[in-house]
């Protein structure tokens, strides 16, 4: 499938997801299930990564501040901005692309090759909408919560690292956290998160839904889904940053 | 009744179905037989609209199935039950939820009525105490029976089965055949079954169509199957030693 064919088929796939919707009561339990499946199950994983990367960010900022004239609170400020602007929304979304993206692509791929999607179609159900729309809604609703959690825990990790190593005392770190805080940065992080959530779910679902063949192709679809999602996240990260922060 | 008129289907330069026409009558078990790769599954998938035909017409009780909107096609599909080759049960749902699923999507019954209907369908296929099990906990034959129960849950007018006996032992295969035949007669369903199992053909084939390399070759009944003068069909049937001996005896 070349780039133009894939893009065209992806747009048609999106059209199928958002057309001929089933009744609302059909989606609600599915959305709850997906929140549990792709959202709640990622909490521990995201928390673990965020604490350690937050700590590493703080240590690296301190390592690079070689000038003794620079105030120590700048460590807190730089860590805060790195975590809010880039680490949590982008890096965690990339991590989620690997975790939930591969889950989405492989589960839909398996449903395709075992004819479960055909069974839905024969029953008169719009399979794309029934299977994919709850995943999109769940990710769009829950990923921002994961990212906020990641921001908080990343900062906590940074504070712990700074405090325990003695490179940035608590008071200095807290001052840095509050200094020149721009609330729009949070909005920027949330906008990115929502767009990345849409990309993760739809691209991976597209590759899973259109799997042809058997177990080998399911694996390939999962890999393709994660690779293209990651590429698109990086590209959109640049575009959104250019649009919102320039 | 399902009527097919000159349907053609190709993938690139490979013709899978060539000018295929047939009538599938209601209240009868209609079989499509042929060797692997003869186009049987494709014929069924085209009839269900899972693959679009290149040309030709398909009518469900005189209603055109090809040149209609997605919504109208969806309405006709609600009158169809399908048993897939691998059963295609939803892994994440229990047996009860699987059988209830078409009812839930059609929204014609209350919750208690749906539960009653599920019990009725599972009883009809002789399955008991499996409601809360998952498909992976059942044997292949039981999964096929659940698939049949799911297919009949909405009282379909048309029932399609793709290789319902594949992977089953002869005894279970015979049970599934009898079940499909009983259901067809009991509810006056138009049943279309794909098979290359000649035992099935001789047991339940009220109307048999033989396909060879995507071409219609022969049609008849289980009574006329063994005495056909069609060379391709004879080659297909009597490739089995058992049927060769049967032919020599008669």
**What are the extents of the domains in chain B?**
1-79+161-190+198-250, 90-156
Contacts of B159 (CB under 8 A, 6+ apart): B80, B81, B82, B83, B151, B152, B180, B183, B184, B189, B190, B191, B192
A183 lies within 8 A of chain B by CB: no
Q: Following DSSP, what letter does each residue of B104-124 receive, concatenated?
A: HHHT-S-HHHHHHHHHHHHHH
In this prediction, the residues of chain B whose per-residue pLDDT falls under 50 are none
- At B151 the pLDDT is 92
Q: Which of A74, A190, A185, A202 is nearest to A132 (CA)?
A: A202
Of A110, A116, A122, the CB nearest to B77: A122
- At B250 the pLDDT is 65
**Is A169 a member of any domain?**
yes
Among A144-153, A159-168, B196-205, which is the least confidently predicted range? B196-205
Residue A97 has pLDDT above 90, yes or no: yes
CB-side exposure of B22: number of CA atoms within 13 Å? 28
- Enter the tokens of residue A230: 């990651």
The average confidence (pLDDT) of chain A is 94
What does the alpha-carbon distance between residue A24 and residue A151 come to, in Å, rounded to a whole number?
A: 33
CA distance A140 to chain B (A): 23
- Parallel/antiparallel/unpaired status of strands B190-195 and B158-162: parallel
- Enter the tokens of residue A119: 């069974």
pLDDT band at A194 (very low <50, low <70, confident <90, very high): very high
- At B5 the pLDDT is 93
**Is A55 a member of any domain?**
yes
What does the alpha-carbon distance between residue A201 and residue A226 come to, in Å, rounded to a whole number?
A: 10
Contact A166, A62 (CB under 8 A): no
Fold of B1-79+161-190+198-250: Rossmann fold (3.40.50)
Q: Which of A126, A159, A132 is nearest to A22 (CA)?
A: A126
The DSSP element (H or E) to which B201 belongs, if any, is: helix B198-204
Of B74, B85, B91, the CB nearest to A124: B74
Contact A93, A196 (CB under 8 A): yes
**Beta-bridge mates of residue B82:** B160
Q: Which of B92, B50, B144 is nearest to A108 (CA)?
A: B92
What does the alpha-carbon distance between residue A197 and residue B77 come to, in Å, rounded to a whole number?
A: 34
- Minimum CA–CA partner of A24 in chain B: B105
Dihedral angle sign, alpha carbons of residues A53, A55, A61, A63: negative
**Is A6 a member of any domain?**
no
Contact B208, B201 (CB under 8 A): yes
Range of A58's domain?
A: 41-245
The DSSP element (H or E) to which B234 belongs, if any, is: helix B231-237
- At B199 the pLDDT is 86
Interchain contact, B84 vs A123, CB within 8 Å: no
CB-side exposure of B10: number of CA atoms within 13 Å? 8
- Minimum CA–CA partner of A114 in chain B: B88
CA distance A23 to chain B (A): 8
pLDDT band at A246 (very low <50, low <70, confident <90, very high): confident
- Enter the tokens of residue B54: 């290149």
Q: What is the pLDDT of residues B47-67, one digit of tens each?
A: 999 999 999 999 999 999 999
Contact B194, B41 (CB under 8 A): yes
ipTM score here?
Answer: 0.87
**Is A232 a member of any domain?**
yes
- At A36 the pLDDT is 94
- At A200 the pLDDT is 97
CA distance A132 to chain B (A): 15
**Is A25 a member of any domain?**
no
B11 lies within 8 A of chain A by CB: no
A124 lies within 8 A of chain B by CB: yes
Mutate to test the interface with A, among B88, B140, B163 (most CBs of A within 10 A): B88
**Beta-bridge mates of residue B18:** B215
pLDDT mean over A83-96: 95
**∠ CA B147-B150-B156 to the nearest 5 degrees?**
115
Q: What residues 42-101 of chain B have any CB closer than 8 A to a CB of chain A? A: 45, 48-50, 70-71, 74-75, 77-78, 80, 82, 84-86, 88-91, 101
Number of independent structural domains in chain A: 1
- Parallel/antiparallel/unpaired status of strands B2-11 and B55-60: antiparallel
Backbone angles phi, psi at B59, to 5 degrees: -120, 130
pLDDT mean over A107-128: 94
How many Cβ atoms sit within 10 Å of the Cβ of residue A232? Answer: 17
Q: What is the pLDDT of residues A34-54, one digit of tens each?
A: 999 999 999 999 999 999 999
């Amino acid at each position: 499938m070349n780039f133009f064919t894939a893009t065209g088929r992806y747009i048609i796939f999106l059209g199928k997801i958002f057309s001929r919707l089933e009744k609302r009561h059909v989606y609600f339990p599915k959305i709850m299930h997906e929140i549990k499946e792709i959202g709640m199950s990622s909490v521990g994983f995201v928390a673990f990564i965020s604490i350690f990367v937050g700590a590493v960010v703080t240590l690296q900022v301190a390592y690079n501040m070689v000038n003794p004239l620079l105030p120590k609170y700048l460590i807190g400020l730089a860590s805060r901005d790195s975590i809010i602007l880039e680490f949590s929304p982008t890096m965690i979304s990339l991590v989620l692309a690997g975790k939930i993206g591969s889950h989405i692509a492989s589960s839909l791929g398996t449903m395709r090759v075992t004819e479960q999607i055909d069974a839905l179609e024969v029953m008169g159900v719009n399979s794309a909408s029934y299977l994919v729309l709850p995943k999109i809604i769940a990710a769009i609703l829950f990923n921002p919560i994961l990212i906020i959690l990641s921001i908080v825990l990343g900062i906590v990790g940074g504070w712990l690292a700074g405090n325990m190593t003695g490179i940035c005392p608590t008071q200095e770190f807290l001052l840095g956290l509050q200094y020149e805080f721009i609330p729009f940065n949070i909005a920027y992080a949330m906008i990115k998160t929502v767009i990345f959530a849409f990309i993760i779910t739809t691209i991976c679902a597209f590759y899973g839904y259109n799997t042809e063949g058997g177990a080998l192709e399911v694996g390939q679809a999962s890999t393709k889904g994660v690779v293209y999602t990651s590429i698109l996240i990086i590209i959109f990260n640049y575009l959104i940053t250019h649009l919102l922060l320039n | 009744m399902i009527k097919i008129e000159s349907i053609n289907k190709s993938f690139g330069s490979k013709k899978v179905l060539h000018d295929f026409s047939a009538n599938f009558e209601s209240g009868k078990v209609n079989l499509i037989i042929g060797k692997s790769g003869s186009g049987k599954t494709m014929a069924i998938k085209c009839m269900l609209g899972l693959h679009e035909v290149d040309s030709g017409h398909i009518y469900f009780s005189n209603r055109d199935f090809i040149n209609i909107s997605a919504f109208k096609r969806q309405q006709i599909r609600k009158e169809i039950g399908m048993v897939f080759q691998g059963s295609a049960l939803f892994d994440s749902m229990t047996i009860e939820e699987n059988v209830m699923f078409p009812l839930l999507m059609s929204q014609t019954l209350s919750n208690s009525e749906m539960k009653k209907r599920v019990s009725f369908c599972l009883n009809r296929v002789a399955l008991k105490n499996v409601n809360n099990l998952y498909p992976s906990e059942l044997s292949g034959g039981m999964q096929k029976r659940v698939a049949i129960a799911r297919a009949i849950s909405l009282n379909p007018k048309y029932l399609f089965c793709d290789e319902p006996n594949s992977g089953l032992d002869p005894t279970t295969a015979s049970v599934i055949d009898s079940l499909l035949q009983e259901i067809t007669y009991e509810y006056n369903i138009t049943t279309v079954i794909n098979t290359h199992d000649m035992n099935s053909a001789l047991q339940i084939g009220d109307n048999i169509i033989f396909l060879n390399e995507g071409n219609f070759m022969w049609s008849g009944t289980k009574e006329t199957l063994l005495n056909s003068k069609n060379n391709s069909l004879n080659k297909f049937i009597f490739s089995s030693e058992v049927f060769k001996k049967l032919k020599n005896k008669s």
